[in-house]
Structure 1
Amino acid sequence: MERREPGWVVVGVDGSASSRYALEWSAQEAQLRGLGLRIVTAVEIPDPRDPLAGPAIPANVEASPLFRDARALLDYAEEWIGRLYPELETRTRLVLRRPAEALLEVAEEEGTAVIVVGSRGRGTLASAFAGSVGVELAAHSPVPVVVLPKQHETAPGARERVVVGVDGSPASRNAVGFAFAEAQRRGTELVAVCAWQPVTAFALTLGPLPPEVFDDEPLTEAARQTVEEALAEHRERYPDVSVDIRPVRAHPAAALLETATPADLIVVGSRGRGGFTGLLLGSVSQSVLHGARGPVAVVR
């Protein structure tokens, strides 16, 4: 297959069902982008000073059962993708460090376009790409991170779409650009969701509020305006992408999860408006990662 641009889609595998789903999804993504696929697994060497770290790996790391299992997993993954996508260029890498550190190392290399992982690990390797790895990657990766759910659900009759959360924040603007590009590659519809919530009971303790505060129409219009402003420049760049704008009266995470089917790709910014800098990710992106039934892309 002729590469249209230099670069790689990178996927972390550990032998779990979630990572197998991530492997196939990443191969399809690489094919859509005209990129190669880099398959990565990690073997974490236990700290000999930690009594709970497990059995020590011998000085000759390549002789350890864990290393051999990791190498066999990479060989199997490469062979499997070779059968499904024979024209796709693939490479493998085994890294001796924590899974998140291994993938962040690859993420920072020139040519890496996107990182893909499963949401729950614990497959055949002790160094499984567990759920926390996806959160850590999404918080620190310089490139977008796509997290696949634990189970691959189907949505009979549902057409694949790209669903993006919009709130006007810098990360959200980057997410919109990523979502437009993905919708263009897939030839599918882009659904732009902007959620708003009514005044809470707490606000009522502040004293009498004017009647217009309880009117949904101005809030709906403000949400729509936020979306229109965020989409404007990308509409010009991707004129063929059909866009469905949805101002929703709901919590942002709930709005995205209720809008998307397992066939859809959800795209969110890593941190929305008002996010606490001490958190790895914003509450919305974390909630979507944990509740989604399909792939989720987190964009910084």
Structure 2
Amino acid sequence: MNDASGVRWVIVGVDGSDSSRYALEWSAHEAQLRGLGLRIVAAAQAPEREGPFGDLLRRRDEEQSSLLRDAQALLDYAREWILRIYPELTVDTLLAEKRPAEALLEAASAPGAAAVVVGSRGLGSIASALVGSVGVDLAAHAPVPVVILPKKHETAQGVRGRVIVGVDGSEKGQRAIAFAFAEAARRGARLVALSAWQPMTAFASTMGPIPGEVFDDESVEQATRTALDEALAPARAEHPEVEVEPKTVRAHPVVALLEEACPADLIVVGSRGRGGFAGLLLGSVSQAVLHGATGPVAIVR
């Protein structure tokens, strides 16, 4: 894998499933919008050759060779398919004899990587399949934004979706805002910046004495609105061309995001917000959004 040309890449994993095909087409569209190249990755892990079962595993060489041939054929087909749709796009392929998550993390960590995209579910055949756990691993560890697409969604072509970003005031949330504004600017899309709040009475029994004013829903909502405006100000100044709709919603953050988004929209969240523990690399909100979304979700670290 040589990036001496200086090309920057959108990385996408394929395994032959419908989910990965949607991810492939979405990635190509994204690469075209960004003026980047597309790098298509397939993983075919070789069995271990050492240890007590080495003799048995060595008999699987022919099976492994077949797996590699199938994976290479998949890459060749994927590249040909995308070039039919986007003939001017720079397309590269990479066959890795590794676990899918390991192969994609390595590709995402290489010089020139701009984002990595996977489908949420795989087939369980070629390349050990890009199952949901691969997307979670990537979202937790990849050094670039990770976009995960559900098994079915509206295609990017011909659909002008919105960009929806969850705002929680955290550092990673601020990076999610910056990413969301940049994506909205590229797409000419409207940006919905959503901050959720819940009544303080729900937490009163565990928080000890609390000033009476925090039980006033109107005061809590106004404070949430003020914090939202402050969080959006830097990105708004950088992208004045983006149409922004700030929204405060009385709901759990996951419910608010999933109810706001339609399949054509891109949801953007930070990998872990204010409520996360330091040892958890992927927060409960981002994980729940990944499992419940009907459209693409971008996780920004």
CA distance in structure 2 between the aligned counterparts of 1:57 and 1:130, rounded to whole angstroms = 27
CA distance in structure 2 between the aligned counterparts of 1:181 and 1:52, rounded to whole angstroms = 51
| CA 158–15 in structure 1, closer or farther in 2 if over 3 Å, else same | closer
Residue 73 of structure 2 corresponds to which residue in structure 1?
72
The reply on whether 1:130 has 2:131 as its aligned counterpart is yes
Higher-helix-fraction structure: 2
CA deviation string 1:119-168 (max 9, x = no partner): 1112541521110000110111110000001122579x984100000011
CA distance in structure 2 between the aligned counterparts of 1:91 and 1:85, rounded to whole angstroms = 13
- 8 Å Cα contact 2:153/2:264 also seen in 1: no
| CA 77–124 in structure 1, closer or farther in 2 if over 3 Å, else same | farther
Q: Unaligned 5+ residue runs, structure 2?
A: 1-5
Say which SS state the counterpart of residue 128 (structure 2) adopts. coil
Residue 175 of structure 1 corresponds to which residue in structure 2?
176
TM-score, scaled to structure 2: 0.90
- 8 Å Cα contact 2:43/2:128 also seen in 1: yes
Shift of 1:278: 2.4
CA distance in structure 1 between the aligned counterparts of 2:204 and 2:255, rounded to whole angstroms = 22
| CA 198–78 in structure 1, closer or farther in 2 if over 3 Å, else same | same
CA deviation string 1:278-298 (max 9, x = no partner): 223100000000000000000
Residue 96 of structure 2 corresponds to which residue in structure 1?
95
- 8 Å Cα contact 2:79/2:91 also seen in 1: yes
CA deviation string 1:156-200 (max 9, x = no partner): x98410000001101100000000000000001000000111125
| CA 250–98 in structure 1, closer or farther in 2 if over 3 Å, else same | same
Residue 42 of structure 1 corresponds to which residue in structure 2?
43
Residue 297 of structure 2 corresponds to which residue in structure 1?
296
Shift of 1:231: 1.1
- 8 Å Cα contact 2:115/2:146 also seen in 1: yes
| CA 57–240 in structure 1, closer or farther in 2 if over 3 Å, else same | farther
| CA 202–273 in structure 1, closer or farther in 2 if over 3 Å, else same | closer
Say which SS state the counterpart of residue 9 (structure 1) adopts. strand
CA distance in structure 2 between the aligned counterparts of 1:293 and 1:108, rounded to whole angstroms = 28
Q: Which moved more, 1:145-154 or 1:71-80?
A: 145-154
Residue 33 of structure 1 corresponds to which residue in structure 2?
34
CA deviation string 1:187-238 (max 9, x = no partner): 0100000011112545247678665333211111111112111111111110
Residue 254 of structure 1 corresponds to which residue in structure 2?
255
CA distance in structure 1 between the aligned counterparts of 2:67 and 2:125, rounded to whole angstroms = 9
Say which SS state the counterpart of residue 107 (structure 2) adopts. helix
Code of the aligned partner of 1:271 = R
CA distance in structure 2 between the aligned counterparts of 1:46 and 1:119, rounded to whole angstroms = 25
TM-score, scaled to structure 1: 0.90
Tell me the matched-pair count. Answer: 294
| CA 234–47 in structure 1, closer or farther in 2 if over 3 Å, else same | same
Residue 164 of structure 1 corresponds to which residue in structure 2?
165
| CA 52–34 in structure 1, closer or farther in 2 if over 3 Å, else same | farther
Give identity over the alignment, percent.
66
- 8 Å Cα contact 2:138/2:146 also seen in 1: yes
Residue 230 of structure 2 corresponds to which residue in structure 1?
229
- 8 Å Cα contact 1:188/1:241 also seen in 2: yes
- 8 Å Cα contact 2:9/2:38 also seen in 1: yes
Q: RMSD in angstroms over aligned alpha carbons?
A: 2.6
The reply on whether 1:114 has 2:115 as its aligned counterpart is yes
